[in-house]
Structure 1
Amino acid sequence: MTTLLPTTERPITALPKVLFTKNFSVTSAQLAALEGAPYEVWASHTDPDHGMLAAAPHTFLEPRGLLGDDYAAWLLSACTERGITLVIPGKERERLGHWRPAFAEAGIALIVPTDEATQRHLERKDEFLRAWDASILPIPQWTTFDTSASFEDGLKALNTDGVRLCVKPARGIYASGFRVLMERPDLDSFLKGELYQMSVAAAREMFAGGALPTMLLMHTLEGAERSIDCVAWQGRLIRAVVRRKGEQGQRLEDRPDLVAAAEKIAHTYHLSGIFNFQTKDDNSRVPHMLEINARASGGLRYSMAGGINFPRLLLDAATGTLDWAALPPVRTGLSVAEDKVVRVLGTADLAEAEQGEPEAAAG
């Protein structure tokens, strides 16, 4: 069993210091949600203008270009120097799973989703699907391809009347590389700006010409798509929020079946932290598993509108202060949408002065 609390505890005379390292923009919402919480909140990033740094009361810059063990060693030193006792990493999250003992020895709880091997397994969608326990949720019919020939083999193997196919890379985030395959170009879809469609002929042309990264080819389910945001601690689910995606917004649903699936996922992979999984219904309204992301989703803000403060619950669990018997209820039946907020980060004159005039830079 993984223990993320430090094995060598230092006396804490002030608020515990928690650091969120370089991550996606949704982390800004997590930082904002911790306002007033009994933690001293820090954020770090390589980009001085990133929203994470605007959302945190304490910040510092990360050096650019550090990867792997070099980054982990730098992070350990930076946290020790500042007296940080909890770290929720974004960058190099998988490799940092290997560094938990070193951080614990320094009195720092490194909160990674699970061990390095399991994180990489979940990131490799083909490996994940092969090993998936379909008793939790079924999965669509699928195969892989890495050449034009194996793409054609996959088309033949999965061809079913009335069922469209889709492609996506076995390694990727968000919707990068995802396309639904159409038998022929569709003008209406093009004019409507539907970006996630491609004709089979265009796919054949793109995949011709040599080896490809491992790609998935699978049945496209045409029912409702859901994203389930979860927070867990050492394999025990704390809370899960189920949101059904729509064209104008999203709806927070009461789905005990998908919450039960979240409990099994947290236990199976012994997850700690905020994670997400995606499902889509078939024509019989049966949800099918698509993927698990061992990180916060880009749509976490929607789920937080259901009354669940994901980062606060996680930190309370990590510090042993979470009251498991008094967890907040999830508000369901809500339709939610997101309004973007503009933040003032500084003045244009100051930014230009810092960069220098083009002529001076050339000289």
Structure 2
Amino acid sequence: MQGVIWLNQMLASQRDVAELVRRGSNGCIRVLSSHGSDREDIFMTADEHLVEPQEAVEPTFGYAEWALNTASSKRVNGMVAMRHRKKLIAARDQFSAGGVRLAAGAVDSDTIDLCDNKDQFTVAMKAAGIPVAETIAADNLEELRAAITTIAATGTEVCVKPAVGVYGRGFWRFVPGLNPFSLFTTIDGNQVDPEFYLNAYARAATTARLIVMQYLPGIESSIDCVCDDGSLVAHAVRQKLNDRQVVFTGGREVDIARAVISELNLDGLINVQTKADASGNPVLLEVNTRPSGGVGYSAAAGVNLPLACARMMLGERVGDTSLASPVVIRRSDLTYVLPRATAALSGWAA
């Protein structure tokens, strides 16, 4: 047995990450999965699982101390952390002293905060010489209107999204003069007249911080990366093509990802987003210091990034993860039985 990798609660990819590590290592790497809820669908892909204690029940509960004790008792060698990762990062030296390689997206909490604050992130990346979309934060109606005017003055279209969010929720592209009724007649597009948006915003009872950005017309790329304290170890670029995705390695998108990873000392399994401008040049959009929901997709093309991350954390040779040429993949949802939930219905009558 080569080692034990612990995956604590992630947003969307925990099941896939566990399955790909186990499958890719032929069972040589054991996976421990934990979650705040009894998620049988996630636990069934791990070798061992546990439900994490809840702070609401135990107000004085110290997550980092519990994690250190659990890692010791379970003989964990590496931990891919998402839940309470700032608490875990604060105990990074203690994990290291216990022989546990912690991978939490970054080596310090300030970097996680920087990547979560898109306007501050933009300033930092521009200062580092990395091409990044112009971004302005807005906390009220006046700031929102001013930000739209400022971005529009750069000669590009304007878009907006929540300062904090996932899955593209709340993203809108501003199209002046667009008929507002199109919001109810189109399935995709997320386009809206800016004045209609501003009027709706003004009527909102409460509002959260928004990010106003340049809208880039080119293709969007999602670069899933394995990094080791600022060094890019393995990666795969995914670009959507209608109902399919093109997966490849190398290219200008990766050059940007490598520069960001080095600048911020990113660490673990993370995701970089770029989009091409009108001239086809990739521009940095954002960095997610966590595994993306689609981090497992590229494994179908031959690049198993969760396995590469596990090997890196165990001090093993990752090996060649490059692709000779692009590969087209298509995602198909799977349906599976939950054995424990099914067994619990033994006394149930329809």
**Which band: TM-score by shorter chain?**
0.7 to 0.9
Query: Relative to 1, partners in 2 of residues 1:349 and 1:107: Cα closer, same or farther, differing over 3 Å?
Result: closer
Alignment match of 2:165 (pick from 160, 172, 184): 172
Alignment match of 1:27 (pick from 6, 9, 14): 14
Q: 1:23 corresponds to which letter in structure 2?
A: M
Query: For each residue in 1:147-170, what CA deviation from the matched residue of structure 2 results, as whole angstroms up to 9, or x when unmatched?
Result: 111112122222259743111122
Query: Relative to 1, partners in 2 of residues 1:331 and 1:185: Cα closer, same or farther, differing over 3 Å?
Result: farther
- Give the unaligned 5+ runs of structure 2: none
**Secondary structure at 2:15 match in 1:** helix
Distance 1:250 1:107 in 2: 39
Alignment match of 2:200 (pick from 199, 206, 212): 206
Does the aligned pair in 2 maintain the 1:136–1:264 contact within 8 Å? no
- Give the unaligned 5+ runs of structure 1: 1-13, 358-363
Distance 1:224 1:68 in 2: 48
Aligned residues: 341
Provide the residue aligned with 2:219 in structure 1. 224
Q: 1:121 corresponds to which letter in structure 2?
A: L
Alignment match of 2:79 (pick from 69, 72, 87): 87
Distance 1:53 1:93 in 2: 20
Distance 1:127 1:254 in 2: 29
Alignment match of 1:194 (pick from 179, 188, 192): 188
Query: Relative to 1, partners in 2 of residues 1:247 and 1:192: Cα closer, same or farther, differing over 3 Å?
Result: farther
Mean Cα deviation higher: 303-312 or 274-283: 303-312
**Secondary structure at 1:297 match in 2:** coil
Provide the residue aligned with 2:276 in structure 1. 281
Q: 2:137 corresponds to which letter in structure 1?
A: T
Mean Cα deviation higher: 284-293 or 86-95: 86-95
Does the aligned pair in 2 maintain the 1:240–1:262 contact within 8 Å? no
Does the aligned pair in 2 maintain the 1:49–1:345 contact within 8 Å? no
Q: 1:182 corresponds to which letter in structure 2?
A: V
Query: For each residue in 1:163-188, what CA deviation from the matched residue of structure 2 results, as whole angstroms up to 9, or x when unmatched?
Result: 43111122223313221123233555
Does the aligned pair in 1 maintain the 2:296–2:304 contact within 8 Å? no
Mean Cα deviation higher: 67-76 or 257-266: 67-76
**Secondary structure at 2:86 match in 1:** helix
Mean Cα deviation higher: 180-189 or 46-55: 180-189
Provide the residue aligned with 1:299 in structure 2. 294
Aligned-pair identity (%) = 24
Provide the residue aligned with 2:143 in structure 1. 150
Q: 1:97 corresponds to which letter in structure 2?
A: I
Mean Cα deviation higher: 45-54 or 344-353: 344-353
Distance apart, 1:53 and its partner CA: 0.7
**Secondary structure at 1:34 match in 2:** helix
TM-score in terms of structure 2 length:
0.87
Query: For each residue in 1:79-107, what CA deviation from the matched residue of structure 2 results, as whole angstroms up to 9, or x when unmatched?
Result: 22322232111211233211112223333
TM-score in terms of structure 1 length:
0.84
Alignment match of 2:306 (pick from 303, 311, 321): 311
Distance apart, 1:294 and its partner CA: 1.0
